[in-house]
Amino acid sequence: MINSTDFRTGLTIEYDGGVWQIVDFQHVKPGKGAAFVRTKIKNVETGAVVERTFNPNEKMPAAHLETHTMQYLYEADGVYTFMNTETYEQTELTRAQLGDALNYLMENMEVALQQFKGRIIGIQLPNSVSLKVVECEPSVKGNTATGATKMAKVETGYEVRVPLFINEGDVLRIDTRTGNYIERA
């Protein structure tokens, strides 16, 4: 059992029938009244982020997630096949189980598959990926001073807002946590 005063960023807990990860926390001791812990927690399965307040003496069980390194192999009829890099066992996931991760998933990419009590709850991508631009408006020479942006489609089909100097064929680094353009690779 974990006491709410022991919270730290990245800790996973079982709360309200689900698995939650602590995104942010703050110990608050107001001048009047009892102390409390204000947290921002993320549901690992759905991705929903909510704010909750806990009493300092409140206890909850720690959620022990199993993580396996998997390699994405291929997609067939909406089913995505991953292979465990240690045991070579294959696991199939649906589009619903992958969610937004499909925007960044490339064949042969290594990801971390997360399981809770034998149930697959999601995958964890690298913090950034490099993807090739397959479609975007041509760049205009000298139009970089305003900080303007345009839309570009990358090889996975995901559309991202990029600076005007990006052209088709460029390789971009994209942050998988926010979905934003980072830099040209």
Instruction: Give DSSP secondary structure letters for 110-170.
Output: EEEEEEETTEEEEEE--SEEEEEEEEEPPP-TT--TT--EEEEEETTS-EEEEETT--TT-
Q: What pLDDT does 71 receive? A: 92
pLDDT in tens, 152-178: 999 988 899 888 888 888 899 998 888
Q: 50: which strand partners?
A: 41
20-78 pLDDT per residue, tens: 888 888 888 888 888 888 999 888 777 788 899 988 888 888 888 888 899 999 988 88
Tell me the pLDDT band of 140, cut-offs 50, 70 and 90: low
Give the pLDDT of residue 7.
Answer: 85
Tokens of 94: 């649906």
Among all chains, which residue has been given the structure tokens 């189980």?
A: 97
- pLDDT category, 144, cuts 50, 70, 90? low
CA distances from 4 to 7, 44, 49, 50, 53 (A): 5, 19, 18, 16, 10
Q: Which amino acid is at 123?
A: I
Query: C-alpha dihedral over 178, 100, 82, 123, to 10 degrees?
Result: 60
Q: What is the pLDDT of residues 83-126, one digit of tens each?
A: 998 899 998 888 877 878 888 888 889 998 888 887 887 788 88
Residue 162 contacts residue 171 (beta carbons within 8 Å): no
